[in-house]
Amino acid sequence: MERATVAGGCFWCTEWAFRDIRGIESLVCGYTGGSLDSPSYETVCSGETGHYEALQLTFDPEQISYWQVLEVFWRHIDPFDAGGQFADRGRQYETAIFYESVTQKRLAEESKQSVESLFGQPVQTAILPAAPFYLAEAIHQGYCMTHSKQFLAYRAGHQDRLKELWEQFPVVPGDPQSCLTPLQYQVTQLEGTEPPFQNAYWDLKEEGVYVDILTGEPLFDSKDKFDSGTGWPSFTRPIDPSLIEEREDDRLGERRIEVVAKRSGSHLGHLFPDGPSPTGLRYCLNSAALRFISKN
């Protein structure tokens, strides 16, 4: 395993950006880069300690590279804001990459240069040597999941700026999947999960078929779609089971069945045994992995 430490504004949002991505083994919110030993949320927010709100993650480099970790990081921040992130102002909300080796420093600098080349303006994100990292209070760990309603309402204010920045550059820097948007890349290639109730097809009731975003191969039919109440598009069965691969997935500490498009290898979602008749199955999928073609 390797370790990476990044500061992307509020650490709730930085943690959310890296959840459920293949190869990410652990995520910890904390404080780093300041002058005070054992800082607290209150002392950091006072602006007197010089600490950043940061995320420390461990990852398997055979499944996700450090460069890919940085790709996810850039796509969830405003790299041109020198005074914080979005509505959060102050040193603790500024962005930074903390390198732990000569290799990480080189990759961080090259990654930063690629973003500057993409936009044609200087990036304000600092690249700094790793400093002591202090664990944040328990309430901040996994806040995006334990307080999901409050978190989603808080993060909603970031979306317009992120869309303005990154929608014009759908290519993830340095990656060959040039036809994918950042969210599609994160879901299909890094086994990420899009937000519930905030995706394209969770409540779509129109007749048609849902095809693989990469190959255009029809995978699911609207006649097999049902409202699962989960906020993701759900189906009782695929159009042709031979087009789908089911794999065991225990990354979250519990046994789940991952659903993969066999031809493209794209991650689609997960399969659960709690669906309605006639199959009793629930194929819980990500809209970002699919494209809908209307019957009309």
Q: What is the set of active-site residues?
A: 10, 284
DSSP string across 69-90: HHHHHHTTS-TT-SSEETTEES
CA 225 to chain centre: 26
Nearest-angstrom CA–CA distance, 118 and 138: 38
User: Long-range contacts made by residues 101-108, C-beta under 8 angstroms, separation at least 24?
Assistant: 103/66, 104/4, 104/66, 105/129, 107/66, 107/67, 107/70, 108/70
Paired tokens of 277: 């008749």
Sorted by sequence, the CB contacts under 8 Å of residue 117 that are 6+ apart come out as none
Q: Where are the beta strands (DSSP E) in the chain?
A: 2-8, 24-32, 52-59, 84-85, 88-89, 95-99, 126-129, 133-135, 208-212, 218-221, 225-226, 234-235, 244-249, 256-261, 267-272, 282-285, 290-294
User: Could you tell me which of 75, 97, 74 has the C-alpha nearest to residue 184?
Assistant: 75
Lookup result for tokens 């959840």: 19
The values of phi and psi at residue 81, to 5°, are: -95, 115
Nearest-angstrom CA–CA distance, 55 and 144: 13
